[in-house]
Amino acid sequence: MAQITPGLDFLARKLFIPLILFLAISLVIFLVGFRPTTWQLLVAPFLGITAYISAVISLGRWIERWEAARMGSRLVPQCRRRHSAIDRAIAFFCGRRTYEVPGTMLAQEVVAYNSPIVNVFTIWFNYIVTTCPEHVKIILTTNPENYVKGEGFSRVTRSTLGMGVYTTDGSLWKFHRSVVRPLFLRSRHPTHLELCDRYAQHAMAHLDSITGAGYSIDLLNLFRWSSLNIASEMLLGVCVSNLPCAHEACSDRESSFYPEMDFSTAILRVQEVVSRREELGPLWPLHELLNDKTKEPMHIISQTLDPLILAAMRKKMMRGVGVLYSTDEKAIDASNGKENETLLSQLAELTDESYQIKDVILNVLIPQRDNVALTLSSLVYYLALHPRITSHLRAEILHHLGPIRRPTSDDLRAMKYLRAVINETLRLTPPVPCTIRETVTATTWPSPYPKGKPIYIPAHAKVSYDVYSIHTSKDFWGPDAKQFDPERFLDGRYQEYLSPNPYIFLPFGVGPRACFGQEVAYDEISILTIRLLQAYGSLSIDASAKYPTFRTLETRPLAYGNKNGLGLKLDTS
């Protein structure tokens, strides 16, 4: 069955009323006997559209000034854009990639304007970017109901993530979270650590085979496969992707943009398309006028997930008539007599709609996989740059575990320096460097300046807090804010900076929409780091490696700045 493309749907929704008005005006002109020339017919629509947009913008700004005065506040300072929406649109339509995470380009305007809050005004809407922790607290915990994902974000992600915990608001979001969150609480059971360790050892064996042959390794690529396997087995009960072949993981071999459209690369492709849509703003459907660019990768993803979902639903139906699969018997936990549920099995019990199950799974699987892989790559990068820190961390690991023992939950809690290294990595390279919300109603924020008037925040504005700028601000973290120093989480700087102001450290967010899988992520990052340093004593960046072509969407140091992955040489000494 043929489906309408995003571009055609956009034109049908946006041009219907203008077309009716144009036809009505044309009919009136015809009835009064006026006969315009050809050039007048061509120019008139453009002049009309320009006048309409100018009038709407001017009226909107006047209403905002009036509302701000009525509420005893002032407008957010507006900065002159160095990168306009039109510039970015031209770049995208011409096929040039900016390699930017949605929102990071706008966040750079705050730094350039030298203000803790600015309005990066566009043709489409107010875009307010803040680096003030007090404003972050309002968005995340004080009044989160007024700061939602919004219909615009839902439309961007609907063809990929559908309706799930990551894309919805209100009561629907609360329902999805209530379904998903208990699974991550139960995953603190030791079997989760065993799962992480099993795939960590697979990754180390893969590293041995590659480094033993004299190759350097693209760890970002390898970590992505490993974290995807851990996430898929925890959520689905099966592994959905093999570790990459040696030539795909090695950074001294050229590879195509997407060498194979398997499950893992299909996820990357989906992320790239969504990133482009976010950058283009409300006009993104015009970039997909002839085809939906998520259709092909989502077809690959569906080919993997649909059979698993169907099998889970069939198993539920058969259990309903008294048939017990042999695998059901093996899934019973001997320690408590309960079945080891996966997210898939839970969802199959709750609904008979396969598309709903798929939406929920993708909303959890994609963020978990990507955040862990990016953080691990950044962590190893910093260790390669700082041999002293690497030696300290390895000494702690060998002291607690020796060269081969698998860590327990108690071991992870005891290794304070390991946790500090992970936190410092998350501080300098947060997996989500900029978070965007949309306001529901007009409100005011306190001024970042003493005795300043409150700041007016209009309804339906985009508001964003720049996590990276907050994490690296000298005002919040001291003069060495941009240096990699895990000791800041263990010495007096913790009590001086972070303890009195927890909203300056936001790698997983806070409040009702905080990441419910953050402890799972800490476990996975910890175990992979432990296994890496149990096996290798020396890490160095391979500057001579021929990196693969563009594989990641991130910008800024390493996880954000190295768009080609991480080429590394490893030594067992």
Query: What does the alpha-carbon distance between residue 449 and residue 163 come to, in Å, rounded to a whole number?
Result: 40
Report, in angstroms and rounded to the nearest whole number, the Rg of the chain calculated over CA atoms: 26
Could you tell me the strand order of the sheet in which 443-445 lies? 74-75, 455-457, 443-445
Residues ≥6 apart with Cβ < 8 Å to 573 = 537, 538
Q: Between the CA of residue 434 and those of 31, 124, 130, what are the distances in Å?
A: 55, 20, 10
Contact 439, 169 (CB under 8 A): no
Q: Which of 269, 276, 312, 313 is nearest to 294 (CA)?
A: 269
Query: What does the alpha-carbon distance between residue 330 and residue 464 come to, in Å, rounded to a whole number?
Result: 47
Contact 107, 84 (CB under 8 A): no
CB atoms within 10 A of CB 76: 26
Query: What does the alpha-carbon distance between residue 560 and residue 108 come to, in Å, rounded to a whole number?
Result: 14
Q: Which of 59, 5, 10, 48 is nearest to 26 (CA)?
A: 48
DSSP state letters, 471-529: HT-HHHH-TTTTS--GGGGTSHHIIIIITT-GGG--SS--STTS-TTHHHHHHHHHHHH
Q: Is 217 left (phi over 0), alpha (psi -120 to 50) or beta?
A: beta
Q: Beta strands 127-130 and 462-466: pairing type? A: parallel
Q: Between the CA of residue 369 and those of 141, 355, 381, 392, what are the distances in Å?
A: 26, 21, 19, 28
Longest dimension (CA), the chain: 94
Q: Which of 260, 273, 266 is nearest to 298 (CA)?
A: 266
Q: Between the CA of residue 175 and those of 106, 179, 306, 343, what are the distances in Å?
A: 33, 6, 23, 14
Place of tokens 């011409």: 94
Structure tokens of 468?
């990276």
Query: What does the alpha-carbon distance between residue 550 and residue 565 come to, in Å, rounded to a whole number?
Result: 8
Q: Which of 235, 225, 227 is nearest to 312 (CA)?
A: 235
Residues ≥6 apart with Cβ < 8 Å to 551 = 220, 221, 268, 563, 564, 565
Is 196 assigned a ligand-binding role in the annotation? no
Residues tagged in the binding site annotation: 515
Residues tagged in the binding site annotation for heme: 515
